[in-house]
Structure 1
Amino acid sequence: MPGLVRKILILAAVDGLLLLPTGPRSRGQGPTKISYKTGAVNASTDETPVSQAVASGNSFEAVGIAGLLSVPSGSWLIAITKRSQVAEVKGRQIFVISDIALIPLHSKSEAEAAILRVKAKAVKRSSSNAGIEDIDSDDDYDGESILSSDDDVSDDPPRRPNHHRTLSSSIAEDVIGKKGVYGRFAERWFSKRGWQVDRNRLQGLSGKGEIGGESFPMRKMRSRTGSPDSEAAEKAISPALDEQAQESQGERTLTGDSTGADAPTDPDQPIEEPVDSEVIEGVANSLTPKLLRTTKLLLSASRSFYFSYDYDITRSISKQTSATSSEVPLHKNVDTEFFWNRHLLEPFIESGQHHFALPLMQGFVAQQHFQIPNKEGYSRNFLLTLLSRRSINRAGLRYLRRGVDEHGYVANCVETEQLLSDIDKNAEYSFVQIRGSIPLFFQQSPYALKPKPILMHSEPANKSAFQTHFKRMKDRYGEIQAVNLVERHGFEAIVGNMYEKCATELDDPKIKFEWFDFHSECRGMKFENVNLLLDRVGDVVEEFGWTEEKDDKIERSQAGIIRTNCMDCLDRTNVVMSNFARRAIEIQLTRLNIDPTKLETSLNFMNLLWADNGDAVSKQYSSTAALKGDFTRTKKRNISGALADFGLTLTRFWNNIIGDFFTQAAIDYLLGNVSAQIFVEFEAKMMSGDPAVSVSKVRQNAIETSCRLVIADSNEEMIGGWTLRTPGEENTLRTFPFKEIVLLLTDAALYFCKFDFSMDKVSAFERISLENVKGLQYGAYITSTLTSAQVNEKQNVGLVIRYEPGKDDILRINTRSLTSNVSRQNGDIAAEAAVPPPDAEGQGDTKKPDDVEAPPKEKKKPESDPTHERFLAFKAIPADSSIKSSIRLPSPLRKSAESDEEGLILSICSEIERACKVVNSQLNGSSESGSVSDGSTGEDLVTPFIEKKDIVSVQEAKKSTGLFEQVGYSIRRWVWA
């Protein structure tokens, strides 16, 4: 395959970054230029020699390119500056990323400043031998260490080390002086300005308030280039320099840090503010420093991303030979399911710069050499390699990515290959297993130590996703032995029972199912009872076999795979998988004439290898090491291990409620699953949606289901259906939380449907005859002023429907028994409690009114009475989704031409008005708009049917946003963002 560049000299040129391939393996590979501002990648004709680039001082050496990270405010080159070799397969090296550098592409000055910081950190390490292990064995080593960067990106000045604190400093002075993460929060309490800055921002102000100062997330940005985001970008890539550099005036001049009291300012440089109308760019810019910190944490600090220049680590041995071609770039050969930086490398791939496109895989790679005597007493040399490959599909963190998606991909799906290399006979033995979440729709709350799983969607939807998942598994691996480790009794049983039911009804001889209640069977920390499971299904190890390769030829292929899961697919799963792996290697070595009596002691290192694998997978999914790791390592369980597990459980709980939300959004963004809109959603909710779940399809299904269930009269003609948000209580404008509902329009009535999206059921609905609709009002509907997006009047638009309850109207609630025409005081309470039973057959209640005994007269609604006029308020759901692939599905129930919130509301008003005029001829004389013709008197005023008027204006929303709500949001933003 065309060679990848192994060493790259990165130079800040006049009009862009130059990437100059260096080293003996880079001959014939030309330089590449990445333009400033635009981030365009193109082949360069610049013939700048390497020696000249080094002499210029504004260059550094990298060992690979991870990609290009772009946000609305700019782009950053992700360069791999440090690597460590972890394994060697067939003479080809495998590395783990241990450090990266983020080089901004805003301007030459900022790129140079970042490069100088990279070199400054390298100088600090120059006396060590850290870079020697990073040099290819067949490359010429010039004696210089590989340059790397520990640029801990920060949107605030670097905090001083602890030894700079003086004994006389007070707590308040120390906290404010540090200007750290919590320092910003404390400063609001101790400073004279207090919370005024945040109050201005929360009210939609981006500049100085009455007292002065800068808004918290959108502070004014100073720059030598005049770019409004250049200072934030520069701070975002600023490392924590050494102590002398931090205190020197020269360092402050280099970084442009003007936060100090005596910091010099350049009067010729303008101070600009972000444009308020660019909501996405502004919010993305304010969260960019955190995104860059998270990117660095994921790609380097985690030490969980691996690569090889000439070996496809994304494929097992059985698929390696047929997939590899010497004429095709490596990024085209790799398995896309494990290609983590595909989106980041798109600019290089699309421009044809394939020699820079270095595929990365997240997971775990480790290797151990061992000797073991054969039956004749001669020692044999073997190499055991463990490669775990984490799927990019449904990727993410513990409670934020569970179960399956509609395409059959499951969360925490990891393929683990145990590769035994017979060094003496040039043979490879590959045994592959897989772990993955239960292939059903379910969720668990992150706000509990032991949350109860909740099944979602209908049973047919779950069966469809289940079948899709296993069809893909069969196509990929052959036969399947599914091992389910969740509890048979207790809160996990609801998911386990459905899993077993779907597997039984699938009735496929190539899919075997075994339920082993790990907690019950191993009660009392007797984890050795896992052998009971191996006694029951261990034969599949030999039945499925493994892949054997000798002299680069496949002589035998693995016929099936063991798929293991528990709830998280971490702790219990790793214990069981390690036992299956142990069984496989024992059989393999025995067939290689190895003395079976020596296996027990010679293979003890496997325990440590698999325990490290479990820790790595666990950290990537739950941010902590695996539980039960003491047993995996020593095959013994004691009280100290149980106490350690309890500590890890508490740590997981803390991560679940604090750090995981933004990290999940960052992962989705880096994979290209979402757009920059994700940051707008995160700022408002401090969480993001699941891009694998098609929101358009879910809402379309809700409309169609509601239409089928609530419209009893077959003579009624369907006109339109929409999903909207409405206040938590009826006849109000601003009661939280707002709920998503379905609004249906026929030629005779409006249907207001409360829909249970998790169960695909209608929990309650109200039918309003069109004759009783008295008018419509549409306009700005501001429900919160906490973020800039929430005060945008173009994006926050709503509708109010005024009506009088009539005798023909219907209010029905779907409970365990049908309730009709309930009192309005109890209607909302009953609707909230209307949760269909788990074993309900059908969706909702499909009985028609004629099938139900008439309710008592005293419960009927009153006759039409003007004094009982009511209203329903609706707010448009944002049209711009963060999910890139999201499109509005064409349907007769939905207007596919709607492109924005205001257009959606106007189309709904138009449809309702047209239908009402058909049944009520008196409306034909009403004005089409809210204005009154000239010359009319007060007596001649005709109330328009459609009136354009703010439902809740920005000023009204500001008045109703209390200090407690503002402070609460500020605290949540300080913690989460």
Structure 2
Amino acid sequence: MTALPPRFTVPPLPPRIHRQIKLAITDDGVALAPESGEGVLIRWGVKGKVETIDCEPGEVVLGGVLGIVRLWETSYLLVFLPRLATPLFPCHDVHDESRNEATSSHEVFTLEDIHAIPLNHEIALKAHKKLLDIQISRQPKAKSRWSITLPLRSAANTAKGGSEESSSDDDDEIPEADETPLPSKTREWTKFMPKLRKKQPNDPKTNEILPDDPPQREELEAKIVRQIIREFSNGFFFSYDFDLTHSLQHKRKILAQRNASHTALTHLIPREGSLFPPSPSSTLPRHNLCEDDFVEPDMQVPLWRRTDRRFFWNEYLMKDFIDLGLHAYVIPMMQGWVQSASFTIPIPPNHLEPEKSLGAVPLDLVVISRRSRDRAGLRYQRRGIDDEGHVANMVETEMIVRAKVEVKSSLFSFVQVRGSIPLRWSQSPYSMKPPPVLNEPVDQTYAVATLHFNDLTSRYGPITIINLSEQEGKEGVVTNGYRDLVDSLERSDIKYVPFDFHAKCHGMKWENISELVDSVDLGGMGYLWTLQGEAIREQEGAFRTNCIDCLDRTNVVQSALARRVLTNMLTQLGLKAEGSIIENIFNDIWANNGDTISLCYAHTSALKGDFVRTGKRDFSGMLHDGVSSISRMFYGAVSDFFAQAVISFLLGHRNLSVFSEFLQTLNSTDAASVVKLSRIRSVAIETCSARVLNDGEERINGWTLLSPDARSVKISPGLEEKVLLLTREAIYVVSFNYPLEKVMEFTRIPVKSITSIQKGAYILSTLQEASRDPKENYGFLVNFSPTDESTRYSTYSLRNKLLSVPQDSAPTPGTPKPSVKHALIDPDVTEFYAFKAIPGHTSDEGTCQESVNNAVKQIAEACKDEELIVEKDIVSLAEAESATSILDKMDYAFKRFLWL
């Protein structure tokens, strides 16, 4: 019997996440030693193999591991330092010890103090030293009676005895205790300028002119690592002991299902008592929903397996630890916002004794927003919906309220969602307010929109759509398209509510938002209410609110809906949600929530935040919105392109080729588009095989490769993506029109005509690092003697005729024939086709060099002659350098400076 992989095994006892891990640098790699349990060694090198060991604890204390980032030159272990905990619900009753312990366990941490440790022994020692210095600087310092205030110096110098002269270039300045050391963000633009030399040296062996020094890939790696740290430093939260990614109502449903299964099994086993006699040890664990109002199901399962994968942002980076079953090291990171506050509400006096105070009720208010990693990205980079039904900026927001009235604890929960308009649309990032543009007709998005709404209704129940976009003007194209989409779906579980926010609230008439709140059915949707752990009512459905960005207008309306729901919740308890304290706390939490989501999606705080905080608009708020709008335009037009590539990479949607693509096009293709393109290429191979192979020929394999338009050419202004088919008798070089799915022409070369196959580096550009890497710029030449080669053209014309037919011989009228061109027999003449591998877009395709080696091997096997293979560069780095003009170099240098 095959054992389950470690990632699917459950230990005998519930695994507890390591809260403290001690780090050490060894000769073999980076060693991690927890307080209890097995240690881990991450070996040096790009592969950074992870294995379990018994190791001695080091000096540096970590709060946890974020994951491993593998780049070209080396890999990086991302860790974070210990953080201070914030309880989700503070304990108000100090005498209730059981309640105090249960409540304090629900602790939430903010992800900060992230550091990258290169898996290179020499550099890792420096990183270790920096972490140790930070740790020393944060230790409480003993106060001396005769201490004198001295100028601040770095912790590194303090650790070495305070000798300022002992500092060297290798010792970086250590930040103060409240700072997070990050690599320097400053760079000189001249680093990207090509080195112009009067005379370049020659290679002594080949006498070829050597190319200029290539750009340092280490610099790009440092930029990627800095951006990854920057992304994870913005709005990420985690917990060591409970699932932060599921709502309370979802957890209760899971527990109800577990208890129902338990009840069914307890009734089933006694009926089969003759075969399975009852045993006291056979009882299954059961959680009583009334034991605790804040429930947590499946405690025996590792934390990462209990989380909602939509909100598990570092799953790809933790893959090595997950695959090895190192559950205690895997901490799911959730992007969004978590904030809690506690205050009291006075109990309304008795009408018979209006002057007598009845005390106050302690109230806890929590807002948790969970941002989905599906179709994750930035404002102008990710819009609309993809092929899987995922929309951009999808956020689930839950408001939790806890109150204790007359010794009875009540817990409330209300969930809302936001997400981009589920159409295929986009916006240009190069203006302040670009108009949305539909990329596909509305009727072509029915299938993916159905996937999206099926997912929402299965999770939340009936969906009420609140569309805040403009019904006229620039936004009218997608707004009306959204309305037409919902009308065409004709679903009873979806209700569409349009509310033109700008038109209704024009002139700062913010009070008109109450019209929207009054028009929706808050009573029918309800909210979760548990009394002493027993459900009194549940939420049936959810509001799906959106504007164009799902940021500013959405924040205002969601907070307004939540405010009305909070009033209804407290009314159920006989309390009044009035007073400046509750208003200030509620508005502050929701404004912070909106600002953080805006920072994640648009890199600036939310607009109209002053209204959410204070309930009114003022001049300073309008001025802030103007500055934020300019900042959004800057980020959207300049820096978001690279940041989007980093996000796609850290989530595992794209591999390292995304950075090659970015440096060439200064853009990042959506992962869904890459998958779709891969499918199109597979279909092209199948289509070409069906149309060009001779009868009886069976395809061995097929590839899509880049190739110059003409034969016997290696360097050309443009490359065409051709289809190469291999059979036992011949190879077929096919020019294929992808939009029309049409074979334009193909050439059949018998394998016996192939004289040699040359494979090697195929470098066509020297401007950026990836284009110089032979592993990602590899190709091959098929040299052949055109003795029996033939070329056919698909003209689809009734005048087609065989070119070999004499001109004075008239063909049969009305019979279309293919246009065929036979090459003249000349054994002394050889020609060739040049092919360059297309860089892989997914992590399982391997490098270009590996794919070329595989293709060349199969062609040589079909030729039954392994000696045909010759290893020699197709286009060497020196040849590519000489073909690159100074103007191209300077143009690329300027773009790189601007975008990176």
Return the TM-score normalized by structure 1. 0.65
Which ranges in structure 1 are unaligned for 5 or more consecutive residues?
A: 23-28, 130-146, 148-154, 162-178, 218-282, 756-760, 813-819, 822-849, 851-860, 889-896, 915-927, 932-947
Shift of 1:356: 2.3
Shift of 1:364: 0.5
In structure 1, C-alpha distance between the alignment counterparts of 2:191 and 2:885, rounded to whole Å: 21
Residue 118 (str. 1) matches residue 99 (str. 2): no
Aligned position for 2:616: 636
Aligned position for 1:80: 80
Higher deviation after alignment, 406-415 or 455-464: 455-464
Residues 313-332 of structure 1 mapped to structure 2, 5 A cutoff: 313-321=244-252, 322=255, 324-332=297-305
Aligned position for 1:417: 398
Shift of 1:199: 12
Aligned position for 2:108: 94
Residues 41-80 of structure 1 mapped to structure 2, 5 A cutoff: 41-46=50-55, 48=56, 59-80=59-80
In structure 1, C-alpha distance between the alignment counterparts of 2:347 and 2:185, rounded to whole Å: 60
Aligned position for 1:32: 39
Q: Would the alpha carbon gap of residues 603 and 486 (structure 1) be closer, same or farther in structure 2, given more than 3 Å must change?
A: same
Deviations for 1:551-583, whole angstroms, at most 9, x for unmatched residues?
334443211111111222111111111111111
SS in 2 for 1:900: helix
In structure 2, C-alpha distance between the alignment counterparts of 1:729 and 1:512, rounded to whole Å: 57
- In structure 1, which of residues 648, 664, 680 is the aligned counterpart of residue 644 of structure 2? 664
Aligned position for 1:216: 215
SS in 2 for 1:68: strand
In structure 2, C-alpha distance between the alignment counterparts of 1:721 and 1:693, rounded to whole Å: 22
> Does the aligned pair in 1 maintain the 2:77–2:119 contact within 8 Å?
yes
Deviations for 1:159-201, whole angstroms, at most 9, x for unmatched residues?
999xxxxxxxxxxxxxxxxx97665434788xxxx72489999
- In structure 1, which of residues 305, 310, 319 is the aligned counterpart of residue 236 of structure 2? 305
Letter of the 2:423 counterpart: L
In structure 1, C-alpha distance between the alignment counterparts of 2:569 and 2:66, rounded to whole Å: 38
Residues 423-438 of structure 1 mapped to structure 2, 5 A cutoff: 423-424=404-405, 425-438=408-421
Letter of the 1:33 counterpart: V
Residues 535-684 of structure 1 mapped to structure 2, 5 A cutoff: 535-536=518-519, 538-539=520-521, 541-595=522-576, 598=578, 602-684=582-664
Residue 883 (str. 1) matches residue 849 (str. 2): no
In structure 1, C-alpha distance between the alignment counterparts of 2:894 and 2:231, rounded to whole Å: 25
Deviations for 1:240-282, whole angstroms, at most 9, x for unmatched residues?
xxxxxxxxxxxxxxxxxxxxxxxxxxxxxxxxxxxxxxxxxxx
Q: Would the alpha carbon gap of residues 718 and 446 (structure 1) be closer, same or farther in structure 2, given more than 3 Å must change?
A: farther
Deviations for 1:484-535, whole angstroms, at most 9, x for unmatched residues?
2222223333323332222112111011112222222223343332223223
Q: Would the alpha carbon gap of residues 435 and 663 (structure 1) be closer, same or farther in structure 2, given more than 3 Å must change?
A: same
Deviations for 1:328-356, whole angstroms, at most 9, x for unmatched residues?
22222122221122223333333333222
Aligned position for 1:362: 335
Aligned position for 2:771: 790
Shift of 1:651: 1.2
Shift of 1:624: 1.0
Q: Would the alpha carbon gap of residues 31 and 444 (structure 1) be closer, same or farther in structure 2, given more than 3 Å must change?
A: same
CA RMSD of aligned residues (A): 5.3
In structure 1, C-alpha distance between the alignment counterparts of 2:390 and 2:552, rounded to whole Å: 21
Shift of 1:389: 0.7
Letter of the 2:597 counterpart: V
Q: Would the alpha carbon gap of residues 809 and 333 (structure 1) be closer, same or farther in structure 2, given more than 3 Å must change?
A: closer
Return the TM-score normalized by structure 2. 0.70
Letter of the 1:959 counterpart: S
SS in 1 for 2:474: coil
- Percentage of identical aligned residues: 32
Aligned position for 2:811: none
Aligned position for 1:375: 348
Letter of the 1:216 counterpart: P
SS in 2 for 1:400: coil
> Does the aligned pair in 1 maintain the 2:779–2:849 contact within 8 Å?
no
> Does the aligned pair in 1 maintain the 2:471–2:479 contact within 8 Å?
yes
In structure 2, C-alpha distance between the alignment counterparts of 1:119 and 1:654, rounded to whole Å: 38
Aligned position for 2:189: 185
Q: Would the alpha carbon gap of residues 548 and 972 (structure 1) be closer, same or farther in structure 2, given more than 3 Å must change?
A: same
Aligned position for 2:118: 104
> Does the aligned pair in 2 maintain the 1:59–1:115 contact within 8 Å?
no
> Does the aligned pair in 2 maintain the 1:6–1:63 contact within 8 Å?
yes
Aligned position for 1:404: 385
Residue 294 (str. 1) matches residue 253 (str. 2): no
Q: Would the alpha carbon gap of residues 181 and 318 (structure 1) be closer, same or farther in structure 2, given more than 3 Å must change?
A: closer
- In structure 2, which of residues 20, 26, 47 is the aligned counterpart of residue 7 of structure 1? 20
In structure 2, C-alpha distance between the alignment counterparts of 1:383 and 1:204, rounded to whole Å: 74
> Does the aligned pair in 2 maintain the 1:81–1:99 contact within 8 Å?
yes
Q: Would the alpha carbon gap of residues 337 and 187 (structure 1) be closer, same or farther in structure 2, given more than 3 Å must change?
A: closer
Higher deviation after alignment, 549-558 or 416-425: 549-558
SS in 1 for 2:340: strand
Which ranges in structure 2 are unaligned for 5 or more consecutive residues?
A: 1-13, 90-102, 143-158, 160-168, 176-182, 256-295, 350-356, 801-813, 825-830
Letter of the 2:310 counterpart: E
Q: Would the alpha carbon gap of residues 571 and 701 (structure 1) be closer, same or farther in structure 2, given more than 3 Å must change?
A: farther
In structure 1, C-alpha distance between the alignment counterparts of 2:607 and 2:710, rounded to whole Å: 44
In structure 2, C-alpha distance between the alignment counterparts of 1:655 and 1:728, rounded to whole Å: 39
In structure 1, C-alpha distance between the alignment counterparts of 2:476 and 2:715, rounded to whole Å: 40
Letter of the 1:651 counterpart: S
SS in 2 for 1:790: helix
Shift of 1:615: 0.7
Q: Would the alpha carbon gap of residues 97 and 200 (structure 1) be closer, same or farther in structure 2, given more than 3 Å must change?
A: farther
How many aligned residue pairs are there? 747
Shift of 1:665: 2.5
- In structure 2, which of residues 835, 857, 881 is the aligned counterpart of residue 958 of structure 1? 881
In structure 2, C-alpha distance between the alignment counterparts of 1:492 and 1:743, rounded to whole Å: 45
In structure 2, C-alpha distance between the alignment counterparts of 1:159 and 1:511, rounded to whole Å: 58
In structure 2, C-alpha distance between the alignment counterparts of 1:422 and 1:695, rounded to whole Å: 49
Q: Would the alpha carbon gap of residues 557 and 61 (structure 1) be closer, same or farther in structure 2, given more than 3 Å must change?
A: same
Letter of the 2:342 counterpart: H
Shift of 1:317: 0.8
> Does the aligned pair in 1 maintain the 2:340–2:365 contact within 8 Å?
yes
In structure 1, C-alpha distance between the alignment counterparts of 2:639 and 2:671, rounded to whole Å: 19
SS in 2 for 1:2: coil
> Does the aligned pair in 2 maintain the 1:766–1:811 contact within 8 Å?
no
Letter of the 1:648 counterpart: S
> Does the aligned pair in 1 maintain the 2:20–2:82 contact within 8 Å?
no
Q: Would the alpha carbon gap of residues 212 and 416 (structure 1) be closer, same or farther in structure 2, given more than 3 Å must change?
A: same
In structure 2, C-alpha distance between the alignment counterparts of 1:297 and 1:727, rounded to whole Å: 41
Deviations for 1:702-740, whole angstroms, at most 9, x for unmatched residues?
9569979x99xxx9x999997666889999997877676
Q: Would the alpha carbon gap of residues 112 and 733 (structure 1) be closer, same or farther in structure 2, given more than 3 Å must change?
A: closer
In structure 2, C-alpha distance between the alignment counterparts of 1:459 and 1:431, rounded to whole Å: 32
SS in 1 for 2:85: strand
Q: Would the alpha carbon gap of residues 908 and 431 (structure 1) be closer, same or farther in structure 2, given more than 3 Å must change?
A: farther
Letter of the 1:966 counterpart: K
Aligned position for 1:144: none
Aligned position for 1:140: none
In structure 1, C-alpha distance between the alignment counterparts of 2:583 and 2:465, rounded to whole Å: 26
Q: Would the alpha carbon gap of residues 496 and 184 (structure 1) be closer, same or farther in structure 2, given more than 3 Å must change?
A: same
In structure 2, C-alpha distance between the alignment counterparts of 1:640 and 1:602, rounded to whole Å: 24
Q: Would the alpha carbon gap of residues 69 and 769 (structure 1) be closer, same or farther in structure 2, given more than 3 Å must change?
A: closer
Shift of 1:469: 0.9
